[in-house]
Amino acid sequence: MGPNRRQLVTALAWPLIGSVAVPARALEPRTLVFPRDHGAHPELRTEWWYITGHASAGERMFGFQVTFFRTRVDVAQAIQSRFAARQLVFAHAAITDLAGRRLWHDQRIARAGFGIAEAAEDDTRVQLRDWSLRRRADGRYLARLGGEEFAIELDFMPTQPLLLQGEAGLSRKGPDPRQASYYYSQPQLQASGQLRVGEQRFDVTGRGWLDHEWSEELLHPEAVGWDWIGMNLDDGSALTAFRLRRADGSTVWDGGSFRAAGGVARAFAAGQTRFTPRESWTSPASGARYPVRWQIECPAGRFEVRALMPTQELDSRASTGAVYWEGLSELLDAHGSHMGLGYLEMTGYAQPLRLN
């Protein structure tokens, strides 16, 4: 999509998404059913499929992000036209090149339908023009996202069972029960394939983390954004921690989970997870100040999360309307010893995030 057309779609789409919203309802506890719940849930407002991780070619390490979003446009639901933009699909892709100290990223947006964009309901099969993420019957995920400057062609094989976040997949995101999502993760994915940056192509292997989350309402009115980590530990464990944050930095809500390799996931109750910033970086592009080193205390222990490169800010204003930080990071124990790698996500630092 050319820049003028992309700007037009964005200008039209975001006022529709944000200004005429159906009042949210509290999500009911239910049993997630697969493979159906790997697919899209167009009856709910917001949904995303998200894969991040690290991959190496010899001594050269990369981080990668693949995210597809689906959004219900409430004002278009009653329009009696096959051209009505009832659902929008967005996509973000990024590669962090640690050796080159560079972040490569791109974004796309289109309305669902007409063979241009799709979020299938029967299983994970999300497509936006020639970008796609799909799940095969054997459980393997295939991500194919190409562009002029970089490309991601990765396969992800599950090595562990699904991790249902929250209470059997229902994850609270605020003090009001309406602020919740259905949410599961697939940590410790075995990644393999190719990454291209510029004219260089690399055969890579590594580890990935998948999140699939769908919701009617995520953000409490006081929340301006969130801080989140998904960490694959070297021993096979998986750590999730998050908090919803006010403008003054205080916490509206927090949560997470820990699952030891071969064990059962333990969900963290609200009030049990604490994020304390230890070092910050100011983006020269947006002026936002992001904590790039955190101390995180939770029922699983006390940890340090350290960004492996500070310059991992993504400007997605041409698609989702947000500027956020999303980057490859290291997990350390309380004594500073390496424990694993994963991704740190921080939203709402450049401007308040608005999803509802």
252 contacts: CB under 8 Å, gap ≥ 6: 174, 175, 220, 222, 223, 243, 244, 245, 246
Per the model's pLDDT, the better-predicted residue between 285 and 217 turns out to be 285
Q: Does the pLDDT of residue 10 top 50, yes or no?
A: no
| Mean model confidence pLDDT for the chain | 91
Q: Does the pLDDT of residue 143 top 50, yes or no?
A: yes
Q: Does the pLDDT of residue 16 top 90, yes or no?
A: no
Cβ neighbours, 10 Å, residue 285: 11
230-251, pLDDT tens digit by residue? Answer: 999 999 999 999 999 999 999 9
275-305, pLDDT tens digit by residue? Answer: 999 999 999 999 999 999 999 999 999 999 9
Tell me what pLDDT residue 69 has: 97
Q: Indicate the number of domains in the chain.
A: 1
For the residues 215-240, what does the mean pLDDT come to?
96
Tell me what pLDDT residue 353 has: 85
Question: Model confidence at 112, in pLDDT bands (50, 70, 90)?
Answer: confident
Q: Domain for residue 339, yes or no?
A: yes
Q: Output the six-digit token pair for 138.
A: 């054997």
The winner for highest mean pLDDT among 17-31, 280-294, 341-355 is 280-294
22 contacts: CB under 8 Å, gap ≥ 6: 45, 74
Q: Does the pLDDT of residue 25 top 90, yes or no?
A: no
Tell me what pLDDT residue 4 has: 36
Q: Domain for residue 25, yes or no?
A: no
Q: Domain for residue 352, yes or no?
A: no
Tell me what pLDDT residue 235 has: 98
Tell me what pLDDT residue 79 has: 56
Q: Domain for residue 118, yes or no?
A: yes
Per the model's pLDDT, the better-predicted residue between 154 and 21 turns out to be 154
Residue 127 sits in a domain whose CATH number is 2.40.370.10
Q: Domain for residue 28, yes or no?
A: no
Q: Domain for residue 24, yes or no?
A: no
Per the model's pLDDT, the better-predicted residue between 233 and 16 turns out to be 233
Q: Domain for residue 271, yes or no?
A: yes
Q: Does the pLDDT of residue 24 top 80, yes or no?
A: no
Q: Which of 22-26, 41-45, 81-85, 274-278 has the lowest mean pLDDT?
A: 81-85
- Taking the C-alpha atoms of residue 62 and residue 150, their distance in angstroms, rounded to an integer, is 12
Q: Domain for residue 269, yes or no?
A: yes
- Taking the C-alpha atoms of residue 243 and residue 61, their distance in angstroms, rounded to an integer, is 29
Domain of 298 in residue numbering reads as: 3-18+35-347
DSSP H or E run through 8:
helix 3-19
Q: Does the pLDDT of residue 17 top 90, yes or no?
A: no
Tell me what pLDDT residue 218 has: 84
Q: Which of 119-133, 277-291, 342-356 has the lowest mean pLDDT?
A: 342-356
161 contacts: CB under 8 Å, gap ≥ 6: none
